Amino acid sequence: MMIRQRARLLSSTCRQLSTSATSRVYLSNTLVPTLRDAPADAATEGHKYLLRSGLIRKSHQGGFVLMPLGLRVYDKIVSMIDDAMSTVPAAKLTLPTMLPADIWKKSGRWESTGPELIKLKDRHGHDFCLAPTHEELPSHPNPSPTFYM
């Protein structure tokens, strides 16, 4: 997305946040905590703009919270992607955050992956991991469908 398109999207969102045709949420009633100066730990120009405009806030090292305006922008981008993907034969899917260990054990990556793989047990003692990738998930039997997330 070009800079002008982003600026137009942000300015139109900032002027008035509309949830439906009958009810409107105005920017004056929305939490948009902007910053005058960019934080010193901001890594890139884009990171500085996101922080200063109130779209995101840092929660911990490497983790960020989408603020209300940032969530609104995110939802609009997802909607644009969904509209574009509806013109091609593609199906949207959501993959699980936790994966069972047996999938990872079959591929041999359960033992070979180091401490960066977060492993845990459920209350029944079954092993799971937080999914860093979804390469281990079984693929669709028919290879022709196109999926997107």
Give the residue extent of every domain in the chain: 3-87, 92-148
Closest Cα to residue 138, out of 96, 90, 110?
Answer: 96
Whole-structure pTM value = 0.63
Divide the 149 residues of the chain into consecutive groups of 10 and give the mean pLDDT of each group.
55 50 62 78 86 87 88 93 88 87 87 89 93 72 70
